[in-house]
Each structure stands twice: as C-alpha cells, then as structure tokens.
Amino acid sequence: MTPCGEGGELGDHRFSRGRAAWAHHGRRGERGVALLTALIITLVVFMLIGSSLYVITSSTNISGAGKRYATASEAADGAVEVMKEAIGLIMQSEPVDTLPLRGTTDLAAVVLVGGSTEVFLDLPAGLFSRYTARITVERLYAKMVPGSRIEFPPQSSTIGSMAFYFRISTAVSGPNSAKAETTVLYRYVR
C-alpha cells in the first residue's frame, strides 16, 4: 500500500476524508481569526467613542468655568459700583438702608472718619445660583484740592474741594467654586 492509497490514486476516500477534515479545521481557524478581528475593531470603535465623549464633556466644563468666572467678575464690578453709591450716600448724610448690603454698622464711621471694614452683598444670578460679594472698604486719606472741580464753585464758597480716597476690594464667590476679585482706588470729591 502506498501512502496515497492503493495504486497511488489521489482519489482515495481516506485521503479525501483527511483533506476534508483538514479543510474543515482550517475554516474553524479562519472563523477564530475573524472573531478576534471583529473584537479588536469593536474595541477600537468603543475607545474612539469614549475619547470623543471625554473631549466633549471636558470642553463643556471648561467653557462653563469661563462663563462662571465672567459672571463672577461682572458681579465684582457691580459690587464696586454699589459701594461707590454707598460712599456717596454717606457723604451726603443719607441712609444706606435702600442698598442691598449686609453688615453696614461700621461703614459710616469708616467713610467719615477712617479705617477699614467688611460689608457683604448677595447677588442673585439666576434661578439656581447665587453670588456673594465680600467688600472691604478702606479710607486711605482726605486732602484739600483747590480748584479741582470741573464745574464752577458756588459764589459763597471760598474754600476748595475736599477729596476722599478709598480702596474698595471685592471678592465674589459663586456656584461651582467660581471666584473673582477686584480692587479699585476710588476718589470722592465733595
């Protein structure tokens, strides 16, 4: 008997059965490679989707932080304007009760005599957010300034104007750790 069967024929059923078994086994191996390739491609696609979602949420958080800072900065500028209004009212002997300030017990003494004090201001910014401003007012000095006013002085006035210098510092804090600070040198001329 020859290795190929009786008489060396290639059509031997044992050989053909072995070849069919080998071909069947080869197809099973091809299916395994195809499954592995599909799994790798699926993994790569999921990684691309995950990284895209991460980039989108990161950029949204960054843009939101910029918006929160801009809002806090505008609130700090507004708090400075409220404090300028309060200084003007106190200098004109008017009450500051109409302004939305908290902790104004020492404010009139600081504005008129000197020193430093802290005042608080609550600023509504939206339905679910709120900003709080801590305003520090410090009267630096007062100085006579003859002829410094743009308009003409009254006929009865023989003295020059008095200029009062203040340092107004605001620190605003809001939702999601939004913070902004502003310091202004303010001159009030009377």
Helix (H) or strand (E) holding 34: helix 13-91
Q: How far apart are alpha carbons 38 and 188 in whole angstroms?
A: 76
Rg of the chain over all Cα atoms, to the nearest angstrom: 41
Determine if the pTM surpasses 0.75: no
pLDDT digits (tens, 9 = 90+) for 86-136: 999 999 999 998 898 988 888 999 999 988 999 999 877 666 678 899 999
What are the residue boundaries of the structural domains of the chain, listed by start? 75-189
What's domain 75-189's architecture? 2-Layer Sandwich (3.30)
Average pLDDT, the chain: 81
The pLDDT tens digits for 56-93 are 988 888 888 888 888 889 989 999 999 999 999 999 99
Please give the backbone phi and psi of residue 8, each rounded to the nearest 5 degrees, phi first.
75, 20
Rounded distance, CA 167 to CA 184, Å?
6
Scanning the structure block, which residue is given the tokens 């804090």? 173
Q: How far lies 117's CA from each of 35, 65, 136, in Å?
A: 74, 31, 6
pLDDT tens, residue by residue, 4-35 = 555 555 555 555 555 555 555 556 667 788 88
Whether 154 contacts 146, CB under 8 Å: no
